[in-house]
Structure formats: structure tokens, C-alpha cells
Amino acid sequence: MTKMRTTAGIVLFVLLANLCMAQDENPLGLVNDKPADGPFVKTDRGYMVPYEAVIPGTDVKYKMIPVPGGIATVGSPKSEANRGENEGPQFEVEIKPFWIGQYEVTWSEYKSYMAMHDIFKGFETHKLRPLSDEKSPLVISAPSNLYDTSFTYRNGEEPRLPAVSMSQYAAKQYTKWLSLMSERFYRLPTEAEWEYACRAGTKTAYHFGDDPADLDDYGWHYGNSNETTHYVGEKKPNPWGLYDMYGNACEWVLDSMLLDGYTKFGGKRVSAADALVRTKELFPRVVRGGYYDLDPEDCRSASRLPSSDDEWRGEDPNIPLSPWWFTSGPALGVGMRLVRPLEDGLAMKDKEEFWKADVQMIVDDVNFRIDEEGRGARGFVDKLLPKAIKELRAKE
């Protein structure tokens, strides 16, 4: 009898150990058992839950919120007050589950990436982590050190303020850097994903209703911001727990803006991949959500703002103009928010499509700035980068 109990105990121990191992093998933000409380999204792979992560090698944290799959209605109806000329016609997009940043990327997060400039330069000086052909898929560019901080930090640089004035290319390189270090696939949202997450299941002009006067409770805009950005998370969240979707900083999405709005989709239902508008033109690209210097009417769920060459780079003293930084106008209120798809099995070359410069002029400007001027830097990124940074600092 004792032997049978011992054998049964061993079997139970093995089963429990295997169960724990299965739980441990889940990627961050995915659990097997239905949570007792808090938000979650049920999927075929388990339950998506909010998670907090630390940027490797730092003490900087960021938090991601799960978003269910569904059908997004993109754009505003003709009847919506203050509807913009590029907000229609409405169409539907099939959205797959993803996580999205609870807050806009802050200066504490973005400065961790900015620090790569001097770190990559240090690697080069001390002949650490040399670049090679086999490392080329892992290479990122780090933005040049700021020529004049008064441009970029005009609204402050406190850690909890949203990081602003980065170009779309720099924002995409940030997502690549974080992805390769954390071994999780991050990118910018598509425009359809952004609007779907912003609306959080609602159909009104704002997720709280149709009255712009109520925006004071949910976002920083021209009427209450004192013409500057504010700490993230100080206003009320939307129904899915996302803060500052309206106002504070505009947010980059992956899409370009077509002059005739959504005419090409013409009321159709399309996949998220087919809805993504890619072009070979640097301008205009789309930012969403409005920012601190816009009226509430321009911060609706469907509101779109196009990037502008003259207006956003007019004060840049560099020649060629910086591929990483904008300097003026609305760009001082343009930031970003992370997305992580649940389905992350893309090959590296396919992920690179979400990270790379997609205009030859940007490629050329980056190469010139780094190779000819010595401003900006390149390096490769993997999970061993934080350890290499410690080794570098020990040498300096």
C-alpha cells in the first residue's frame, strides 16, 4: 500500500510539474486559466491579460492592455458633426487580437532608445559587437543626439510626459529595438487597429458620447492644456482602459494618407493587412487622436492629421533634414503608442516591413548622417545587448 501511494504521489507530482511548465511556457500576457477579475480576452491560445514589462537593462516599465478581435468600422458617418474631408466613406476591417500600450510612450521609455547613440559609438570605439552581414537583420539606427534641445523639449522632458517630435521612421526603429531586446514583436498600430482600440466598442464621435464639451474629463486639448503636453494617465481612460487616446500627443500609425480619404475601400469589409495604406511618398503619413493644441472637435475617434514636410520640419537647421526628428508646428505634439499582435509568428523579413524605412530618401539620409557626418549610429540588437552595455560601461 505504501509503495502504491508513493507511486501515485510521484505521478501527481509529475503532472503538476508539467502543468506548471506549460503555464511557464506561455508568452507574457497570456495565461491558461480564466482570470478571476480584471480585463481579459479569450482566444484559442488562452486568455490575454494586461501585463507590465521592463525595458531590458533598465528600470523603465511599460504596460500593455489586451484588445479583442472583431470588426472595426473606420471613419466617420456623413452625419457626424465636424467630420473631416478625409474621414470617409466608412468601411469595415477585420481585426485580430492584440495588446496595445495603456499609455503613450513616455520620455523615460524613449530616452532609453535615444541612449543607444552613445552606446553604439562606444561599441565601435572599443571594438565590441562588430557589425557583420549575418547581423544585418538585427541592425537598427539610433537617432542623432539633439542639435538643440530647446526644439524637442519645448514642452518639457519629464519622464512621465509623452515622448514627442520623433519621425515615423524613428518610431518604427524604436519598436524594432524593443522587439529584439525583449524577444516580443512590437510595432506601431495600423490606422484601423488604432481607431478600433480608441472606440472600444462605441459608435459615437468619442468613446464617451457625442458632446465635445465632455472631452475635458478624458483628454488634453486646446481649451484645457495650457498649450503643452501633460503627464500620461491623468485623465479618465476609455472603456478598455486606455489613457490619452484623445489629445495630449497625436500618435503615429503605420498608414499613409490618401488625398481621397477611404474612397478606395468604398464601404467594403477588408482584412487588416489589406486596409493598411502603404505608399512610397514620405508625406503625408497619418497621426491619430489629436493633440494638446487642437480643439475638441479635432480630437474625435475618427479624426486624422496628415504629416507635413514644410510645417513639421521648417525649423530644422540640418542639411539633409534629420530622418529621426521633427522640429516645429504640430510635430511638437506627435508621439507614439505600442502594439503587440497576438499572432507573432512572422518571419524576420516580414517583421522588418513594419520597422524599416520605406522611402529611399530616408535610407539615403540615414546613411549620409551616419557614414559621412558621424551623427546617428548603427548597432545590432538582441537579448544580450544589456549585458554588453554593462561591459562597455566597465571599460569607460
Task: Kindly state the cell numbers that stand for 61.
Answer: 516599465
Number of residues written out for the chain = 396
The whole-angstrom separation of Cα 153 and Cα 172 is: 21
The three-class DSSP label of residue 377 is strand
The whole-angstrom separation of Cα 235 and Cα 185 is: 29
pLDDT tens for each residue of 65-81: 999 999 999 999 999 99
Looking at residue 14, its pLDDT comes to 40
Q: Which of 126-130, 229-233, 279-283, 295-299 has the lowest mean pLDDT?
A: 279-283
What is each CA distance from 336 to 167, 187, 313, in whole angstroms?
Answer: 10, 10, 18
The whole-angstrom separation of Cα 114 and Cα 73 is: 36
Nearest in space to 71 (alpha carbons), one of 41, 89, 97, 47: 97
Angle (CA) 197-158-172 rounded to 5° is 45
Kindly tell me the sign of the dihedral angle through the C-alpha atoms of 273, 177, 342, 99. negative
Which positions ≥6 away from 279 have C-beta within 8 Å? 256, 258
The whole-angstrom separation of Cα 251 and Cα 269 is: 25
Which positions ≥6 away from 39 have C-beta within 8 Å? 49, 50, 65, 66, 240, 241
The three-class DSSP label of residue 130 is coil
Task: Kindly state the cell numbers that stand for 373.
Answer: 557626418
The whole-angstrom separation of Cα 367 and Cα 43 is: 43
Task: Read off the pLDDT of each residue in 21-45 and give the average, rounded to a whole number.
Answer: 87
Task: Kindly state the cell numbers that stand for 146.
Answer: 539633439
Task: Read off the pLDDT of each residue in 73-98 and give the average, rounded to a whole number.
Answer: 97
Residue 8: pLDDT band with limits 50, 70, 90: very low
Tell how strand 30-31 and strand 46-48 pair up.
antiparallel
Q: Are the beta carbons of 194 and 253 closer than 8 angstroms?
A: yes
Q: Are the beta carbons of 301 and 215 closer than 8 angstroms?
A: no
Domains of the chain (ranges; CATH) run 39-395 (3.90.1580.10)
Long-range contacts (CB closer than 8 Å, 24 or more residues apart) made by 353-359: 354/172, 354/175, 354/187, 354/188, 354/254, 355/140, 355/172, 355/173, 355/175, 355/176, 355/179, 355/187, 356/172, 357/169, 357/172, 357/323, 358/278, 358/280, 359/280, 359/281, 359/282
What is each CA distance from 48 to 1, 65, 272, 300, 334, in whole angstroms?
Answer: 44, 9, 20, 28, 29
State in Å, rounded, how far the first CA of the chain is from the last one. Answer: 67
pTM: 0.93
Evaluate if residue 7 carries a pLDDT over 70.
no
Evaluate if residue 22 carries a pLDDT over 70.
no
Share of the chain above pLDDT 70, in %: 94
pLDDT tens for each residue of 300-331: 999 999 999 989 988 887 778 899 999 988 99
Helices (H), strands (E): how many in the chain?
11, 16
Q: Are the beta carbons of 336 and 188 closer than 8 angstroms?
A: yes
